Structure 1
């Protein structure tokens, strides 16, 4: 979708819905090692902090020496950049402590356990994907494919809209149609005692 059509609110919503649907159908997207490199600080805070030494070793073997070195370098550079240029839109903040140490977060930002950390990380990666922030992904395959449209939801929304716009008519005893907007007179159908 290009040009004017892609800029309409309906088109942007459809594209975001398609991207979300893609993630729902392809959960393997979240197992990619490249997602660690997408936001190394976030990965460090939400995933690595809960890994056991054995899990870190297994992850390191999977990535290899160069992959581990790349992740460590990117994480270090990202920490220095976050200290030098604090971003108010960043999910988590870094600041220097009284002795010059790097303080990673406030206490309320710390996930309670591994599951909560993974859930927060997955949410952030999902929002990044839906916004179009994954530079390595070919979004056109998803954005221009009707395969990722949720037809059931769209049909239900169209039906609800039709019913909302439809004016109700009633048939009286003489068989005449009356609009709901006209005031009814006579018996109400409510029984008084």
Structure 2
């Protein structure tokens, strides 16, 4: 009995041909390829533009997380310098958003949150990790975790102020070596789709080559 690879069907002359995928399957495949392409381009953009992680307003993406991973390790001089770089208005906005976020976390605690917020004796609101292992131990670890959070947010399209189209539709952010490998794999798969009998390769004439 002739053997055919998966995703193939038998033709009248005994050759195996690739089964034609449905429109829905084709659309799903194209959507998956587009998603991977966009994700890789966004990651490539971050690699080429590390200054993105230094933008001051990124704190507003998650003021509580920034407070735990970055601000708690800053010295007084570092906080003052950050304030000068932001300016009065920017610093006031960051302080206000952070305070409101802490108050919200205190009044409406999230049972799934790793951090619990309590009011201290001096009236300030402080947070502490429920799991001690989740706590950043050093400034370097805090920065690494914060950058990872920002990178994931960027890749999934969470920065509403960023022009993603300028990256998503720009092939300058493609990995040329990876693209070449993908093209070669696609070509080899296409070649492997044509065979007869026990699956041995055939030439264009349909006659088995020796």
Same-fold call, TM cutoff 0.5: yes
Aligned equivalents of 2:47, 2:133: Cα separation in 1: 29
Among 22, 31, 38, the alignment partner of 2:45 is: 22
Among 62, 72, 82, the alignment partner of 2:105 is: 82
Describe how 1:1-193 pairs up with structure 2 within 5 A.
Answer: 8-83=31-106, 84=108, 86=110, 88=112, 92-96=114-118, 102-106=126-130, 107-160=132-185, 162=187
Shift of residue 29 of structure 1?
0.3
Question: Number of residues paired by the alignment?
Answer: 165
Shift of residue 66 of structure 1?
1.6
Shift of residue 102 of structure 1?
4.4
Structure 1 alignment gaps of length 5 or more: 168-178, 181-193
Aligned equivalents of 1:60, 1:98: Cα separation in 2: 25
> In 2 relative to 1, CA 60–6 (structure 1 residues): closer, same or farther, beyond 3 Å?
farther
Cα RMSD (Å): 3.0
Counterpart in the other structure of 1:176: none
Higher strand share: 2
Aligned equivalents of 2:85, 2:120: Cα separation in 1: 38
- Post-superposition Cα deviations, 1:39-81, rounded to whole Å, max 9, x if no partner, equal 1111111111111111111111111222111111111111223
SS state at 1:103 partner: strand
Q: Which has the higher contact order (CA 8 A, sep 6+)?
A: 2
Shift of residue 82 of structure 1?
2.9
When structure 1 is superposed on structure 2, of 146-155 and 16-25 the one drifting more is 146-155
Alignment TM-score, normalising by the size of structure 2 = 0.68
When structure 1 is superposed on structure 2, of 149-158 and 42-51 the one drifting more is 149-158
Aligned equivalents of 1:128, 1:94: Cα separation in 2: 23
Alignment TM-score, normalising by the size of structure 1 = 0.73
